[in-house]
Amino acid sequence: MSVLLIAEHNNKEVKPFTLNAITAASQINQDLHVILIGSKADDVAKSLSEVPLVKKVLHVDHEIYENYIAENYTAAILKHADKYSHIICSANTFGKNLMPRVAALLDISQVSDIIKVISPDTFLRPIYAGNAFATVKSNDEKKCVTIRPTSFEAAETTGGSAEIVKIDAADISENTKFINREEIKSDRPELGTARIVISGGRGLQSGENFKLITDVADKLNAAIGASRAAVDAGYITNEHQVGQTGKVVVPDLYIAVGISGAIQHLAGMKESKVIVAINKDGEAPIFSVADYGLEADLFEALPQFLEELNKLNTIQK
Amino acid sequence: MKILVAVKRVIDYNVQIRVKEDGSGVVTDNVKMSTNPPDDNAIEEAVKIKESGKAAEIIAVTVGEEKAQETVRKALAVGADRGIHVKIDGTVEPLAVSKILKKIVEKENPDLVFMGKQAIDDDCNQTGQMLAAHLNWPQATFASKIAVNDKSLQVTREVDEGLETIEVNTPAIITCDLRLNEPRYASLPNIMKAKKKPIEQINASDLGVDTNPRIEHIKIEEPPKRKAGIKVESVEELVQKLKNEAKVI
């Protein structure tokens, strides 16, 4: 049987984590179909069909799917679930919201947030905020799996020509209504996929002081992250939060500034390739995961850091 | 309005997790246990709604071993009116918990069910959504703001792109984010009072629900350790290391 991947998109483009999930899904079974549920999303269907790892695109296009409502997506997915051995999507807020609803109605015990495919029924997943790794085997006949996107490479997006099959819409729920979405537009790289992330914590002391972080981020073309403490204190908005209940990031370079390094924050960044910690408390736990630790007052260190970066002839983009 | 709040007993969030040498799990003997943190937010929100006059009763429910009752007792101490403890030993997967909770919902007929968005032990993030599916109720997950109307709720959800607001008709399931509110501490008099509030005990085996695990835990191991880093003396040295040694800028 084939595997079915649920695409995340905004009716214009595929969201990047769907490409990571495609890679993981194809490791389970190469006969990979993608279901696209949207409204006027023909461009998305076309771009999915061009992903070489995708063998077929199931496209349901109806105005009721203009906004993503888990209840309505679930009904559309269930109409096709019986033909597939696995139903898969990314373990971001999209997939976390959706997949358990699908799994429950199929009477499947979902495997959440896998970081490795060991075999079609056995997976590796972090538990306890990444302080333990569990190898788990699903004994359900059919499987529902969500993928930690940063643990898999993004799939190639060109060269494929999968068949696009139109499918019918399902019933909609009258009990859930979309009101609005406040998306913060930014020219910066996305936090989840950026090559460099610079994050600020409580040590920044105010929202205004985040400008010190922003200036370095501009120079390095980095995404901006934050600890939960900084978000709770109102220094910066929630979509920047890195950690167990925020986003998990795996950049080439992660710079933690004024972040003490609670277990819950480490869970979101400790797989980064190179970690830098700048903190004036030499005993802060963040130093235990840092490749390069600088014990310094961030209000002096960050402007100096920017100055030194400006001296470099070239900076990798 | 009647609100059911589900709470889970987990290893305290401040405890450094240790993996058992035989790979069978993590050490829980003599380890501090607490209520799953976002479940505290769920209780708090229910209590605030009751205090605003919009709810008449709050029932706290937990599913788990004998000691799981402590989390219900704690919920009673911060404002829940009565408790239910569904007793079951061993691993209970979110799918099984959601089936058990469905039985409790059918018995109690609440207008709202609140719980944390995720448990910090298994990090599954499933139970609320699964319960909503079984009941065919709307779900509002990752809630950071809730406005209660007569027959509906407006819920602001924390999503990857920022914030999303949806309206759900009651009855509904809400899973709570840590930013929803600031959970209160129980006062000593309220802790004493909570000891007199009733907790009904139900055996999971009496509910006629299949609770057998579907997922085998083959091995639990420590994650690979990062190799120890170094401390640099100055910003200049840091930039040189990043440029010439790590080659990341």
Whether A123 has its CB under 8 Å from any CB of chain B: the answer is no
* 3-state helix vs strand vs coil in chain A, percent to 5: 30, 30, 40
Whether B213 has its CB under 8 Å from any CB of chain A: the answer is yes
- Is pLDDT at A1 greater than 70 in this prediction? yes
R_g over Cα of chain A: 21
Q: Determine contact, residues A146/A88, Cβ cutoff 8 Å.
A: yes
The two tokens of residue A251 are 């950049």
Per-residue pLDDT, A50: 98
The complex's ipTM?
A: 0.95
Strand ranges (DSSP E) for chain B? 2-7, 9-11, 33-35, 57-64, 82-87, 112-116, 139-148, 152-159, 162-169, 172-176, 199-203, 215-221, 230-232
* pLDDT tens by residue, A212-254: 999 999 999 999 999 999 999 999 999 999 999 889 999 999 9
Per-residue pLDDT, A316: 64
Q: What domains, with CATH codes, occur in chain B?
A: 2-222 (3.40.50.620)
- Is pLDDT at A297 greater than 90 in this prediction? yes
Q: Which of A131, A218, A224, A237 to mutate to test the interface with B (most CBs of B within 10 A)?
A: A131
The two tokens of residue A126 are 């972090």
How crowded is residue A211: how many other Cβ atoms within 10 Å of its Cβ?
A: 12
Alpha-carbon gap: B137 to the closest alpha carbon of chain A (Å): 8
Alpha-carbon gap: B197 to the closest alpha carbon of chain A (Å): 33
Per-residue CA distances from A227 to A241, B7, B237 (Å): 6, 25, 26
Q: Given A138, A175, A316, which is nearest B214 (Cβ)?
A: A138
Q: What domains, with CATH codes, occur in chain A?
A: 2-166 (3.40.50.620), 196-311 (3.40.50.1220)
Per-residue CA distances from B66 to A70, B6, B198 (Å): 35, 16, 16
**Residues 18-77 (B) with a CB less than 8 A from some CB of A:** 19, 26, 38
Q: Which residues of B touch A71 (CB under 8 A)?
A: 138-139
How crowded is residue B59: how many other Cβ atoms within 10 Å of its Cβ?
A: 23
Fill in the DSSP letter of residue A39: S
Q: Determine contact, residues B157/B173, Cβ cutoff 8 Å.
A: no
Whether A220 has its CB under 8 Å from any CB of chain B: the answer is yes
* pLDDT tens by residue, B79-92: 999 999 999 999 99
Q: Which residues of B touch A108 (CB under 8 A)?
A: 95, 214
Mean pLDDT, residues A77-104: 97
In terms of Cα–Cα distance, which of B228, B20, B71 is closest to A128? B20
Q: Given B118, B160, B166, which is nearest A177 (Cβ)?
A: B166
**Residue B167: strand pairing partners:** A177, B154
The two tokens of residue B199 are 């907790």
> β-strand A132-138 against A143-147: which pairing, if any?
unpaired
Say yes or no for a CB contact (<8 Å) between A181 and B164: yes
Say yes or no for a CB contact (<8 Å) between A74 and B133: yes
* pLDDT tens by residue, B202-237: 999 999 999 999 999 999 999 988 887 999 999 999
* pLDDT tens by residue, A176-213: 999 999 887 788 998 988 999 999 999 999 999 999 99
Q: Given B123, B125, B215, which is nearest A109 (Cβ)?
A: B215
In terms of Cα–Cα distance, which of A165, A167, A166, A163 is closest to A54? A163
Per-residue pLDDT, B11: 97
- Is pLDDT at B19 greater than 80 in this prediction? yes
Whether B235 has its CB under 8 Å from any CB of chain A: the answer is yes
Per-residue pLDDT, A187: 85
Whether B147 has its CB under 8 Å from any CB of chain A: the answer is no
Q: How far is CA A288 from the centre of its chain?
A: 25
In terms of Cα–Cα distance, which of A148, A155, A170 is closest to A247? A148
Whether A145 has its CB under 8 Å from any CB of chain B: the answer is no
